[in-house]
Chains A and B, each alone.
Chain A
Amino acid sequence: KNQVEQSPQSLIILEGKNCTLQCNYTVSPFSNLRWYKQDTGRGPVSLTIMTFSENTKSNGRYTATLDADTKQSSLHITASQLSDSASYICVVSDRGSTLGRLYFGRGTQLTVWP
């Protein structure tokens, strides 16, 4: 069973609107959580990283939140643009080894329409 679940699976919004993507995880012991953006046919690009003690992190129009107690994270996109159309992947790392195993969600496919 995947230890990182994302919702919704896909989302369509109009340009200029805001949206929020969700990530629930069961990974333990928790080390950090990242949100990646993956454009079609490209590799993922890191947007934010949050450790246990952080509950919000912003990167331009992207704001990620983390509730380590409920093991939930969200990615809020403000004033969406056509270039925001991509898959957004939640990645959680554990503290079980030096490598820090990564657990990937399946992503939320966001489409922004003009």
Chain B
Amino acid sequence: EADIYQTPRYLVIGTGKKITLECSQTMGHDKMYWYQQDPGMELHLIHYSYGVNSTEKGDLSSESTVSRIRTEHFPLTLESARPSHTSQYLCASSVSLTPGLAGGDTQYFGPGTRLTVL
């Protein structure tokens, strides 16, 4: 079992609230990721980070923002939550199996946060 943690596991909030989803890993991985997953659908990458002070947007446009001030911590923030943000959010981290091999990383996922915005 990977040492990557997400809190809260479940969150129900009202529209317009600001929320922060926490993600921490104790494996010393440089790369971290945020995915959004709806039931029965594929995971979509919304943010990723190569290391401290490095953040990039993923394939799926998201109104959320992320920060990477410490290696082990990669929080995701929604300034004003809306019902369209209702989804499962998965955090992951990785280390390269083969340096220089693109996509060689195995990603270790946290348990996810199930967000419901009313």
Query: Interface on A for B, CB 8 Å cutoff?
Result: 2, 4, 9, 31-32, 34, 41-46, 49, 89, 93-102, 104-107, 109
Q: Is the CB of B43 within 8 A of A104?
A: yes
A46 to chain B, nearest CB (A): 5
Task: Quote the shortest CB–CB distance from B68 to chain A (angstroms).
Answer: 15
Q: How far is the CA of A9 from the CA of B59 in the complex (A)?
A: 24
Q: State whether A94 touches B42 (Cβ < 8 A).
A: no
Chain B 2-19 interface residues, beta-carbon cutoff 8 Å to A: 2, 4
Check A43–B104 contact: CB distance below 8 A. Answer: no
Size of interface on B: residues with Cβ below 8 Å to A: 27
Tell which of A4, A34, A46, A99 has the most Cβ of chain B within 10 Å: A99
Bitwise interface map of B from 90 to 109 toward A, beta carbon under 8 Å scored 1, else 0: 11100001000111111111
Q: A31-B101, A104-B42, A106-B41 in contact; A41/B112 too (CB < 8 A)? A: yes
Residues on the B chain within 8 Å of A49, using CB = 97, 106
Whether A100 pairs with B105 at a CB distance below 8 angstroms is: yes
Q: What number of residue pairs across chains A and B have CB atoms under 8 A from each other? A: 69
Chain B nearest Cβ from A22, distance in angstroms: 16
0/1 interface trace, chain B 72-91, chain A, CB 8 Å (1 if under): 00000000000000000011
In the assembled complex, 18 residue pairs joining A and B whose CB atoms fall closer than 8 Å, in A order, are: A2-B42, A4-B42, A31-B104, A32-B103, A45-B2, A49-B97, A89-B42, A93-B102, A93-B103, A94-B103, A95-B102, A98-B102, A99-B103, A101-B103, A102-B103, A104-B43, A106-B42, A109-B40
- Name which residue of chain A comes closest to B88, CB basis: A41
- Interface contact A95-B103, CB-CB below 8 Å: yes
B102 with A43: CB separation less than 8 A: no
- Residues of chain B within 8 A (CB-CB) of A97 are 102
Residue numbers in A under 8 Å from B111 (CB-CB)? 41-43
Does B104 contact A32, Cβ atoms closer than 8 Å?
A: yes
A106 to B103, CA, bound (A): 19
Cβ of A41 to closest chain B Cβ, rounded Å: 7
